[in-house]
Amino acid sequence: MLQSSSYYMQPEPKPHNPYQDPRYAKYEKYGDQQELEAEIERDAKLLFKKKQLEKIEGFTGYFEFMRPDFPSPVYYEGETYSTAAHAYNAAKLIDPNMRRRIQKAPTLQEMYNVARTIEEPEGWTHKKLKVMERIMRDKFRRSRDMRERLAATQNREIINFLPDKSEENLYWGMVGKQGQNQLGKILERVRQSVHDESEMEQWMQNNFNLVEGRKKLPSINLEVFKDGQLIESITLENKPYYVFGAHPHKCDVVLKHPSMSRVHAAFLIDQDLGVVLIDLMSKAKTKLDDQTLEGCIPHQVKANSKQKVIFGLSTRVYQISIDYSKMQRAVEIEKKNLEREMRLLEKLDNVDNIDMDTLKSTLGLIKQDTIYVSNLPYSVTEQELMELFNDCGKILSIRMPENKQTKQNRGFAFITMADEKAARRALNYDGHKFYNRRLKVNQAEKKAEIEERRINGEDFRQGKGEALKNDDRESRDHRDRRDDHRDRRHRSRSREVRNHRERDNKRDNYDRDRSRERRNRSPRRNERDNRDQKRNDKTEKEREIKKRSVSSKSSHSSKSSSSSSSNSSRSNSSESNKSSDIENNNEQVIQEQIKSSSQKQKVE
């Protein structure tokens, strides 16, 4: 059977028209090809613009405030500049006159003309990124409006597009698709710190040379006066900066006056300037000895002048005193260490070929061959210690300090071994039981280390810290074991009590059920119950009869009392009537007498 041609012959494919696709249905109304292409081009531009909104490409228009030459004051190394570009170019210079020329330049063009004549100092390539970040952070710290505008860009990528291709432009921005865009990355870091609310702390750390280490920090004492009376004393120590303001979480000292800003002012401890006071762009300002402070500019606080600070419009006066004694002790220790190192270097200059032992002795490095043994019995002898540590290696000397009064040893000894390996083997005897005592064996320390610990206020007795740690560890382990044992006993007891209780409950229920069944089954028990029931019924009947007799007697007595009360009431009423008649007669007699007397007077 022949198949029809329509079965295997495929129809000719129609040419694909993209504008008849459902996705392009809106373009069907355009009959003219030129109008259609113009509409598609407009849509493509809108799509491209939408993609551009995901990035900030170039600092123009609304984003012009990100430019380094945007008019915004910047403080750098004791001077205030009109823009960040002025400060950056001045940072390349050491000559103060040239810096002043850049600072006083009236226009950007004149500033750039001076900057072109500047030669970059040595090492500037490694320094310029840090300088620019410091300047840009100071710029945004001084303007809350610019911080808010920068934070409003959210997480969009910031790209500094520049037109001319040069080495400097390729470093700070991008030319086409080339460049490192370091300025855009700095702005993104500043924006992230604004989002994290850590912008102020990072500004302090980047723009000031803060003192590091508690030993070098002075203590700041503030005496608070109100109406001439001392009401409070505040001590600030152990931190390189302290923030004052109304915010309870961001500030070290909370100020509750209504005129205070959230972060109002701060004390900073700078390595070069010492203690400085900074107003953090507050609205009500800060006064130091009746001088209003400029925002975000450090003002040095004198040590012993007892200067006075007033925050905002508050009536409280804060009198400042600074104690540099701890800082001076740390400087003296550091100075002694430097002098010792200088003497050692002078000794080494005169020696050409030197072995390791001579080098150690020259540098004052004691071999780690001496151990410190404590918790010894007072009666121990050197011979016994020699026999105890003889297995570790050769012993050169044993020194046991004695008590001058009792002439006995003081419970510890210094043992010098032949080499460091023998000393390390002897350290394994730490905790060894010797005459019912646990020995404490540690490495002997140098006198310089002990002296430094004494100056720092730490416990300088040899090996005491480690011994205390071991004692604490042993007592803690014993306490843990005791508590675990006690908990196990408590759990076991509670489990036994619970099991006994459940068993007793089950037994009681079983016994009650069995006794109930037994009573129902035994005939003797039933007879006895019947007799008891009859006896109880009889007693109840007798009680009812007694109650009835008592109630009848009480009713009879009540009737008699009622009759007597009625008779008494009658007698009382008769007596009252009699008394009333007598009173009426008396009144009549009195009235008659009055009438007769009045008639006599008339006759007369």
236-264 tens-digit pLDDT: 988 899 999 999 988 999 999 999 999 99
Tell me, yes or no, if the pTM score tops 0.85: no
| More confidently predicted of 366 and 20 | 366
Q: Judge if 152 and 192 occupy the same domain.
A: yes
Q: Look up the CATH number of the domain holding residue 289.
A: 2.60.200.20
| pLDDT attached to residue 53 | 63
| More confidently predicted of 130 and 330 | 130
| pLDDT attached to residue 1 | 38
∠ CA 117-118-123, nearest 5°, is 155
Q: Judge if 222 and 308 occupy the same domain.
A: yes
Residue 483 has pLDDT above 90, yes or no: no
Residue 167 lies in a domain: yes
Residue that finishes a domain, picked among 174, 207, 240: 207
Question: Average pLDDT of the chain?
Answer: 76
Residue 345 makes CB contacts below 8 A (sequence gap 6+) with none
Q: Judge if 317 and 333 occupy the same domain.
A: no
| More confidently predicted of 330 and 422 | 422
| More confidently predicted of 186 and 1 | 186
| pLDDT attached to residue 36 | 66
Torsion of CA 123, 126, 130, 132, to 10 degrees: 80
Q: Judge if 167 and 189 occupy the same domain.
A: yes
Residue 371 makes CB contacts below 8 A (sequence gap 6+) with 414, 415, 417, 423, 426, 427, 441, 442, 443, 444
Using DSSP's 3-state secondary structure scheme, residue 213 falls into coil
Alpha helices in 28-152 (DSSP H): 33-52, 84-90, 96-103, 108-116, 124-141, 144-151
Q: Judge if 351 and 370 occupy the same domain.
A: no
| pLDDT attached to residue 211 | 85
Q: Judge if 311 and 380 occupy the same domain.
A: no
| pLDDT attached to residue 46 | 61
| pLDDT attached to residue 456 | 53
Q: Which is nearest to 155 in space by CA: 104, 189, 124, 197?
A: 189
Task: Please give the helix or strand (H or E) that residue 330 lies within, else none.
Answer: helix 325-349
Residue 118 has pLDDT above 50, yes or no: yes
Residue 476 lies in a domain: no
In angstroms, the CA 319 to CA 49 distance is 59
| More confidently predicted of 514 and 341 | 341
The DSSP letter of residue 402 is B
| pLDDT attached to residue 310 | 94
Residue 555 has pLDDT above 60, yes or no: no
Residue 105, amino acid: A
Q: Look up the CATH number of the domain holding residue 180.
A: 1.10.357.40
Residue 183 lies in a domain: yes
CB 81 within 8 A of CB 72: no
| Average confidence (pLDDT) over 476-494 | 55
CB 363 within 8 A of CB 343: no
| pLDDT attached to residue 489 | 54
CB 276 within 8 A of CB 298: yes
Q: Judge if 406 and 455 occupy the same domain.
A: yes
CB 249 within 8 A of CB 225: no
| Average confidence (pLDDT) over 46-69 | 77
Residue 88 has pLDDT above 90, yes or no: yes
Q: Judge if 200 and 262 occupy the same domain.
A: no
Residue 365 has pLDDT above 50, yes or no: yes
Using DSSP's 3-state secondary structure scheme, residue 305 falls into coil
224 DSSP β-pair partners:
232, 318
* Strand blocks (E) in 379-418: 395-399, 412-417
Task: Please give the helix or strand (H or E) that residue 484 lies within, else none.
Answer: helix 464-521
Residue 551 lies in a domain: no
Number of other residues whose CB lies within 10 A of the CB of residue 240: 20
Residue 235 makes CB contacts below 8 A (sequence gap 6+) with 219, 220, 221, 222
| pLDDT attached to residue 226 | 92
CB 301 within 8 A of CB 322: yes
CB 373 within 8 A of CB 388: no
Residue that finishes a domain, picked among 191, 207, 223: 207
Q: Judge if 142 and 114 occupy the same domain.
A: yes
Taking each helix axis as running N to C, give the angle between helix 523-603 and helix 464-521, from 0 to 180 degrees, rounded to the nearest 10.
100
334 is written with which tokens? 């550091």
Residue 219 makes CB contacts below 8 A (sequence gap 6+) with 235, 236, 237, 322, 323, 326
CB 268 within 8 A of CB 204: yes
- Band (pLDDT 50/70/90 cuts) for residue 55 is confident
Residue 233 makes CB contacts below 8 A (sequence gap 6+) with 221, 222, 223, 224
Q: Judge if 156 and 123 occupy the same domain.
A: yes
Residue 338 has pLDDT above 90, yes or no: no
Residue 432 has pLDDT above 70, yes or no: yes
Render pLDDT for 172-212 as a digit per residue (tens, 0 to 9).
999 988 999 999 999 999 999 999 989 999 999 889 988 87
In angstroms, the CA 229 to CA 224 distance is 8
254 is written with which tokens? 């909370």
Q: Judge if 175 and 305 occupy the same domain.
A: no
β-pairing, 286-288 vs 291-292, is: antiparallel
Residue 475 lies in a domain: no
CB 241 within 8 A of CB 257: no
| pLDDT attached to residue 350 | 62
Residue that finishes a domain, picked among 192, 207, 222: 207
Q: Look up the CATH number of the domain holding residue 440.
A: 3.30.70.330
Percent of the chain with pLDDT over 70: 65
Range picked from 136-140, 303-307, 357-361 for highest mean pLDDT = 136-140
What's the structural domain count of the chain?
A: 4
Residue 575 lies in a domain: no
Residue 389 lies in a domain: yes
Q: Which single residue is written with the structure tokens 């200059």?
A: 349
- Name the residue range of residue 405's domain: 366-462
| pLDDT attached to residue 232 | 92
437 DSSP β-pair partners:
434
| Average confidence (pLDDT) over 387-410 | 86
Q: Judge if 303 and 353 occupy the same domain.
A: no
Task: Please give the helix or strand (H or E) that residue 19 lies within, else none.
Answer: none
Residue 589 lies in a domain: no
Q: Can you say whether the dihedral through the CA atoms of 22, 27, 32, 33 is positive or negative?
A: negative
